[in-house]
Amino acid sequence: MPERFASDLLAGQHVLVTGGGTGLGRAMAERFARLGAAVTVAGRRPEPLAEAVAAIEATGGRAFGVSMNVREHASVEQGVADAEAALGPISGLVNNAAANFLSPTRKLSEGGFDAIVRTNLYGSFFATQAVGQRWIERGTTGAVVSIVTTYAETGSAFVVPSAVSKAGVVAMTRSLAAEWGTYGIRLNAIAPGPFPTEGAWSRLVPDEKTAEQMRRRVPLGRFGDPSELASLAAFLLSDLSGYLTGQVIDLDGGEKLASGGQFNDLAKMPRDVVEAMMAGMRG
């Protein structure tokens, strides 16, 4: 996929990526480093963090891995302090760490609901508040990008804890865009459609047939590539988007809109058949 931003797009920035050791978080962290940012990758497991840091350093970037459980307020506070001690003041945050699994809602345990909501909603709030407090105290600006999902808006069967918690992150994004705009702090969210990663796919996509059905729902006819998410996130962290705040941007190949329109299934039929049918309907 093309990378056409200037190579110093994020120079001088220190970006913290939660869940940055694996999957989409790691893809974003590596990209930010290639664009000149110092990057802290945060997560629960030390091994993936060490691998992500090594990969970034191998290409000449500056990186730090910090142990952090976003479900715990004290852990987030400590992680942010450690990150700043290592690489200087944070200027950008990506709320990427997420928990999810498919479950019939009537069978969902309290612990299962708690694990997902605490990670997605509390985790995003704890990290956002921790960096926001610092920015406001120091009188510096900052940018937050939260990774949500298109079904935060539409809702979705079998992922109720994920849907409600991501909807909360959307509400936080819009609320703080109003509350913190006066400090020059911007908050935006990206709502990805299907992006195949090991972590998400193993919990959400039971088999190849389901994956193919998911692919067919996307008008652009394919899944997202991690570099496409990284490009949008880099743009939202950078000065290029300096007047953009409080927005949720769907990055889904058109999937959400195509799932809603009453006549969208016609677009999946051979176009000559559809056009002949419509011609036959004219008076």
Chain positions contacting ligand HXC, by CB under 6 A = 98-101, 103, 109-112, 115-116, 149, 162, 194, 199-200, 204
Question: Alpha helices, DSSP H only, in the chain?
Answer: 23-34, 46-58, 73-87, 110-117, 123-138, 151-154, 160-180, 198-204, 208-216, 226-237, 255-260, 271-281
Say how far apart CA 225 and CA 142 lie, in whole Å.
27
From the CB of 193, what's the least distance to ligand HXC, in Å? 7
What single DSSP character describes residue 220?
T
- Do residues 18 and 41 touch, judged by C-beta distance below 8 A? no
From the CB of 94, what's the least distance to ligand HXC, in Å? 14
From the CB of 78, what's the least distance to ligand HXC, in Å? 19
Q: Which residue shows structure tokens 């109720």?
A: 160
Give the residue among 21, 88, 32 at the shortest CA–CA distance from 59. 32
Phi, psi values for residue 134, rounded to 5°: -65, -45
Q: Which residue shows structure tokens 């949500």?
A: 148
Say how far apart CA 176 and CA 173 lie, in whole Å.
5
Query: 3-state DSSP call for residue 62?
Result: coil
- Do residues 249 and 232 touch, judged by C-beta distance below 8 A? yes
- Who contacts 283 (Cβ-Cβ below 8 Å, separation ≥6)? none
From the CB of 173, what's the least distance to ligand HXC, in Å? 16
Let me know if 122 is a catalytic residue: no
Q: Which residues are catalytic?
A: 151
